[in-house]
Amino acid sequence: MERALITGGAGFIGSHLCDFLLGEGYEVICLDNLITGSTDNIAHLLGKKHFTFIHYDVTKYIFIQGPLDYILHFASPASPIDYLHYPIQTLKVGSLGTHNALGLAKNKNARFLLASTSEIYGDPKVNPQREDYWGNVNPIGPRGVYDEAKRFAEAMTMAYQRYHKLDTRIARIFNTYGPRMRKKDGRAIPAFVDQALSGEDLTVFGDGSQTRSFCYISDMIKGIYKLMVSKISTPVNLGNPDEISIKELAELVLKLTKTKIKIITSPLPTDDPKVRRPDIKLAKEKLKWEPELTLHDGLKLTIDWFSKK
């Protein structure tokens, strides 16, 4: 049985990854300091035979007994309001946390997969974004704590690959949504769905013409897994190339929840990217992966889950 360690395993993507790997027959060790993750996301796994949860902060030296085949480094606050609440922790987990997780991978001779992000590209000057685009990031803006930590994390991962010959993978994850997102995590989909279900006005930031491309969680997890077991050691974009404006997204949520509440606008956050869309040619060709669920279907599943919460 292969053993995988998932940092941030009690988070949104991390917990779905725990489920998936257990289903594929891996033993899973989940580390999380629970500042933005929650044991609610893994409650159904606690006490299961091949699952271990360790409440731990990966910015501290990590000690794990026994062999490890994979380390999937997913620990990090991941929403713009979380970066504002936890700017130092965000920087530390992307830098010190990545260094510790890489050190552990080297010790155990494990394959390392970094959860990187489309934020690497900042407010991009090219659309869609291909892996060879270097990005347009403001290092000192409020989002800089996340963007720069992840850029450092990619640089550190490549240094371990080149210098220590560590076997590494880098997933550049674009906007992902689905069950287990926190209602109040501040991101567009949980915010709009929560507002629609509780009869509050939908808050579109700016004029809503900024675009994003949203990938449903089950598609994302399959992509991450395909990358994990692939031979591709350069960064790979994972996301849904179906681009939509935030205003259209708000309208779609209203339509699917059959609510007639208002869309109100509030100021656009600093450095909010104007466009974002992944070029997924590399993932399509090399991983034989592309998202299957439409935004319409994924949103219906998400609304269903939020309405039962």
Catalytically active residues, by annotation: 146
Local structure of 78: helix, strand or coil: coil
Measured distance CA(118)–CA(156) in Å, rounded? 17
Alpha carbon distance, N-terminus to C-terminus of the chain: 35
CA dist 77 and 149 (Å) reads: 11
From 3-11, 15-23, 197-205, 215-223, give the range in contact with ligand UDP by CB under 6 A: 197-205
| Among 66-74, 252-260, 265-273, 298-306, the segment contacting ligand UDP (CB under 6 A) | 265-273
Residue 270, amino acid = T
Sole window of 8-16, 27-35, 180-188, 224-232 interacting with ligand UDP (rule: CB under 6 A): 180-188
Residue 95 DSSP label: I
Asked if 305 touches ligand UDP (CB under 6 A), the answer is no
Q: Is the CB of 223 or the CB of 273 nearer to ligand UDP? A: 273
Task: Name the residue nearer to ligand UDP (CB basis): 188 or 227.
Answer: 188
* Residue 212: strand, helix, or coil: strand
Hey, which residues between 75 and 104 contact ligand UDP (CB under 6 A)? Answer: 79-80
Shortest Å, Cβ 1 to ligand UDP: 36
By CB under 6 A, residue 58 contacts ligand UDP: no
Q: Binding residue for ligand UDP (CB under 6 A) from 204, 224, 275, 282?
A: 204
Rounded to the nearest 10°, the torsion over CA 94, 283, 229, 153 is -10
Q: Does 220 bind ligand UDP (CB under 6 A)?
A: no
Q: Closest approach of Cβ 110 to ligand UDP, in Å?
A: 30
Q: List the Cα angle 101/102/107 in 5-degree steps.
A: 95
Chain residue at closest Cβ approach to ligand UDP: 187
Residues between 269 and 298 with contacts to ligand UDP, criterion CB under 6 A: 269, 272
Binding ligand UDP by CB under 6 A: which of 111, 212, 226, 277? 212
Q: How far is the CB of 208 from ligand UDP (least distance, A)?
A: 6
Helix or strand or coil: residue 54?
A: strand
Residue 251 interacting with ligand UDP (CB under 6 A): no
The 3-state secondary structure of 226-290 reads HHHCCCCCCCEEECCCCEEEHHHHHHHHHHHHCCCCCEEEECCCCCCCCCCCECCHHHHHHHCCC
**Please, what is the minimum distance in Å from the beta carbon of residue 16 to ligand UDP?**
18
* H-helix segments, the chain: 12-23, 80-85, 87-92, 98-108, 144-163, 188-197, 217-228, 246-257, 281-282, 295-307
- Residues forming contacts to ligand UDP in the complex (CB under 6 A) are 79-80, 175, 186-188, 191, 203-205, 210, 212, 246, 268-269, 272
